[in-house]
Amino acid sequence: MNSFKVKLHNVFAKKGKEKTDYITADGQTHALKIAIAGNQNSGKTTLFNALTGAVQYIGNWPGVTIEKKEGKLKSNKDVTVTDLPGIYSLSPYSPEEKVSRNYLIEEDIDAILNIVDSTNLERSLYLTTQLIEIGIPLVVCLNLTDVIKKQGHVIDTQKLSERLGVPVVCISALKGTGLKEAVDTVLAEARKKGANLFHHPDALPTDLYLQEHSGDSLFLTDELNEKVRAIEVYLKTLPIDYLHSHFFAVKLLERDGLTFDRLNLPADIKQKITALIEEIEKKYDDSGDGVVISARYTFIEALKKEVVKEAPKKVSTTEKIDRVLTHKIFALPIFIVVMFAVYYVSVTTVGTIANDFVNEGIFGSDWGLPKVISDGLTAINTADWLQSLIVDGIVAGVGAVLGFLPQMLILFFFLAILEGCGYMSRIAFILDKIFRKFGLSGKSFIPILIGTGCGVPGIMASRTVENDADRRMTIMTTTFIPCSAKLPVIALFAGAIFNNAWWVAVSVYFMGIAVILLSGLLLKKLKPFKSAQAPYITELPSYRFPSVKNVALSIWERISSFVKKAGTIILLATIFVWFTSSFGVEDGKFGMVEDAENSMLAAIGNVIKYLFYPLGFADWRSSVATVTGLIAKENIAGTLAILFNFAEEESGTWGALAASYAPLQAYSFLVFNMLCAPCFAAIGAIRREMKSAKWFWAAIGYQTLTAYFYSFVIYRIGSVFVGGLNGLDIAFTVLAFIALALYIYVIACPPDKLIWKKIDFSKR
């Protein structure tokens, strides 16, 4: 036992940089692993990006990091840094809390960087007290200390460190101050303690770190510590990890169900531990977890009085602003005005000017890229089919998508500003009450906000919704909100058909929200979605100017993903569309066709177009574009560009497209493609998150049927006002009125009064 000696070696690389690997008793090398843990919106992701150089999405509302992210420390590539989902406690209720807890107690972690919001110590230190109990070396990083200083408060970090028994470092994750000290401290703790070696059975009894940290918890009363020690005695008779025995003992005292399930205690041990818990509960007349929670907060409140010297209370700028922006009457109208302004500027005014320059200039036919490339290919006598592939296929298809990049840049800029300053978290707070009235969880709006950038992370963010029924409903409805991939389609039709009318993009965005809310009312009438709503608890961060770096990172992440897709998936799709629309059987021979109506793609489109006849766009080009949109929504714009020969246009880039659609047809097309099943990537995310083939197909079916219903009703009832009804159109219009009346009845009628609920089918 005593012969087991741990040797920590500082191995120097060729360039003199110190490595953090250390050698265990069996001679194997172990690279350090550091975990970043903290509350939601405490600055974890900002700190992770600063330490690793990773480009993660940084949002100023809870639940942005919904699974652990890993990267290498910039200053030492031997160190792995893990960014865990934001949590408030290690007594998990939501999926992201379970991810963090399981990682901390199951993985071989060497140290924890606990980021603490110094503007709210009571809330943040609650998690800190639990992290210390795990037994892994921990360094507390006090974030936002610059804000505390401006407020006139002073934190005695030395006393805080002494009382907690762990190092405390002041940082500003946003400004990058104090990070070197934090890294040096956590690496020193990890090297000194050698946390990975605790698992060696021969090392445990003599390990100095365990001797230092054995004994009572600072955060519990003497009586509670006595019970915890008694529980630990029982646990030491079991084959569990000694390193976490104190943590498990406290969790058992709290009657933590996950711990009881994990340890699978023998009946006699479980009975003895339960008896100890019942003694405490009887004495304090409270549940075990209630007693422990009360003890923790008593300690934290006393600690705060010791270490924090507060300035005289003043009404902060944030509070003054919130009196207006979160006002019970003005908050919602302000949100509507803000989002209207964002889309108006992005898509209609400034966005249109930039978009016209790109589409009619760079990708225009008079002097732009298509003409330059075409002239160059002609000069070198390129084969007609190859020239057509490059100009009419690749340049026209991919160019039609990239042509809307300026509008997307402007939109993403505004969204990054709103997220970075703290306004988006207010939106979730404001809409919580509204969402609840429609049967949705308040947390459902977080995935929707994220989904405005991309549906995939939006769907994944549904993990923040604790209730299974509400989470499934969130997954099924999140992609109704227009994501960035749909923006080129919206902008294309707004420009070509509606003469850049301001209301097109705005109406599509708010229609998505309306459909989500109405879906909540509809789905809550169905038995699988009936459940009690979990409370929505969130925090409203202080308003602050977003850093240029974070805004740039947010824009870059979204734009780079869009451009990569244009260079891969959309490129391949446009080549496929060009080939199938350029080749077919003409005059009894297979080859390149002069008339696209004779192409292979036209043959396919003419078969499926009848599915869309009730929706008003029963031509093969629209049908094919809708199908290719399932690969990636941007493909709709690329496909239409090829099929309507944007590269060959002489009288305006979108002349042929505009001539092929009446406004009502175009809007019906937009509605269906904005609401129907999303792209393949998002469909895959739905499959993963649903974890059930039945629920996956239910989600895809519901999205598609919802899109069909809204498009059908809008077109058919709209046709009454534009005239021209006859024959089959009249029948479809009557059917649309019946469908709308039934939809309104189901939405408005209380569940127990629906007519089919009163029919006793057992007697039939």
pLDDT digits (tens, 9 = 90+) for 30-71: 678 888 888 877 888 888 888 887 655 444 344 445 556 788
In this predicted structure, what is the pLDDT of residue 363? 60
In this predicted structure, what is the pLDDT of residue 218? 72
Answer yes or no: is pLDDT of 458 > 60: yes
CB 570 within 8 A of CB 632: yes
3-state SS assignment for residue 197:
helix
* Three state DSSP letters for 712-728: HHHHHHHHHHHCCCCCH
59-63, 105-109, 398-402, 682-686: segment of lowest average pLDDT:
59-63
Other CB atoms within a 10 A radius of the CB of residue 468 amount to: 12
- Kindly give, in sequence order, each residue whose CB lies less than 8 Å from that of residue 548, ignoring residues fewer than 6 positions away: none
Which run of H or E residues covers position 38? strand 33-38
**Cα–Cα dist 619/613, whole Å:** 8
Other CB atoms within a 10 A radius of the CB of residue 563 amount to: 15
3-state SS assignment for residue 356:
helix
Bridge partners of 69? 83
C-alpha distances (whole Å) from 174 to each of 120, 146, 178 are 17, 10, 11
Bridge partners of 116? 142
Tokens matching residue 757: 């609920």
**Cα–Cα dist 308/304, whole Å:** 5
In this predicted structure, what is the pLDDT of residue 515? 93
> pLDDT band at 359, cuts 50/70/90?
low
DSSP 200-248: -TTTGGG-HHHHHH-S--TTS-HHHHHHHHHHHHHHTTSSS-GGGHHHH
Other CB atoms within a 10 A radius of the CB of residue 381 amount to: 7
Mean of pLDDT values over 571-593: 79
Answer yes or no: is pLDDT of 705 > 90: yes
The angle that helices 331-343 and 405-421 make with each other, rounded to 10 degrees, is: 150
**Cα–Cα dist 682/485, whole Å:** 11
Of 104, 182, 180, 111, the residue nearest 142 (C-alpha): 182
Answer yes or no: is pLDDT of 242 > 80: no
Tokens matching residue 706: 């919802």
Mean of pLDDT values over 186-197: 67
Which run of H or E residues covers position 140? strand 138-143
Q: Which domains occur in the chain, in start order?
A: 22-199 (3.40.50.300), 215-309 (1.10.287.1770), 333-748 (no CATH)
**Cα–Cα dist 486/674, whole Å:** 7
**Cα–Cα dist 458/462, whole Å:** 7
Which run of H or E residues covers position 87? none
**Cα–Cα dist 720/667, whole Å:** 15
CB 339 within 8 A of CB 376: no
> pLDDT band at 368, cuts 50/70/90?
low
Output the CA torsion sign for 683, 484, 414, 340: negative
CB 153 within 8 A of CB 76: no
Tokens matching residue 358: 């790109």
Half-sphere exposure at residue 39, Cβ-oriented, CA atoms within 13 angstroms = 27
CA angle 11, 15, 21 (to 5 degrees): 25
**Cα–Cα dist 117/125, whole Å:** 9
In this predicted structure, what is the pLDDT of residue 764? 43
Of 161, 162, 182, 160, the residue nearest 171 (C-alpha): 182
Tokens matching residue 697: 């197909």
List pLDDT tens digits, range 395-410.
Answer: 766 666 676 677 778 8
- Kindly give, in sequence order, each residue whose CB lies less than 8 Å from that of residue 123, ignoring residues fewer than 6 positions away: 39, 88, 117, 539
The percent of residues in the chain predicted with pLDDT above 90, rounded, is: 9
3-state SS assignment for residue 573:
helix
**Cα–Cα dist 461/304, whole Å:** 34
Query: Residue 381, by phi and psi: left (phi above 0), alpha (psi -120 to 50) or beta?
Result: left
Tokens matching residue 555: 């824009």
**Tokens 């401290």 sit on residue:** 185
Output the CA torsion sign for 666, 670, 671, 672: positive
**Cα–Cα dist 578/678, whole Å:** 23
C-alpha distances (whole Å) from 527 to each of 78, 319, 469, 748, 752 are 52, 42, 10, 17, 12
Other CB atoms within a 10 A radius of the CB of residue 197 amount to: 22
**Tokens 């009619």 sit on residue:** 360
Bridge partners of 35? 82, 112
Mean of pLDDT values over 546-570: 76
> pLDDT band at 524, cuts 50/70/90?
confident
Beta strands in 515-630 (DSSP E): 583-586, 589-592
**Cα–Cα dist 12/309, whole Å:** 44
Half-sphere exposure at residue 557, Cβ-oriented, CA atoms within 13 angstroms = 18
> pLDDT band at 480, cuts 50/70/90?
very high
Mean of pLDDT values over 429-454: 76
- Kindly give, in sequence order, each residue whose CB lies less than 8 Å from that of residue 611, ignoring residues fewer than 6 positions away: 623
**Cα–Cα dist 541/317, whole Å:** 12
In this predicted structure, what is the pLDDT of residue 646? 57
What b/e readout covers 114-142, taking b as 16+ CB neighbours within 10 angstroms?
A: bbbbbbebeebbbbbbbbbbbbbbbbbbb
Range with the largest mean pLDDT of 593-607, 679-693, 709-723, 724-738: 709-723
Paired sense of beta strands 33-38 and 29-30, if any:
unpaired
CB 295 within 8 A of CB 225: no
CB 57 within 8 A of CB 557: yes
Instruction: Work out the mean pLDDT of the chain and round it to a whole number.
Output: 77
**Cα–Cα dist 699/68, whole Å:** 26
In this predicted structure, what is the pLDDT of residue 736? 93
* Three state DSSP letters for 370-409: HHHHHHHHHHCCCCHHHHHHHHHHHHHHHHHHHCCHHHHH
Mean of pLDDT values over 274-290: 85
Structure-model confidence comparison of residues 34 and 754, the more confident one: 34
Of 68, 41, 40, the residue nearest 52 (C-alpha): 68
Mean of pLDDT values over 171-188: 85
Structure-model confidence comparison of residues 530 and 761, the more confident one: 530
In this predicted structure, what is the pLDDT of residue 193? 58
Tokens matching residue 763: 């007697």
CA 419 from chain centre, in angstroms, equals 13
Bridge partners of 585? 590
Other CB atoms within a 10 A radius of the CB of residue 656 amount to: 18
CA 148 from chain centre, in angstroms, equals 30
- The DSSP letter of residue 177 is B
Q: Across the chain, which distance is largest between two alpha carbons, in Å?
A: 96
**Cα–Cα dist 702/707, whole Å:** 8
3-state SS assignment for residue 489:
helix
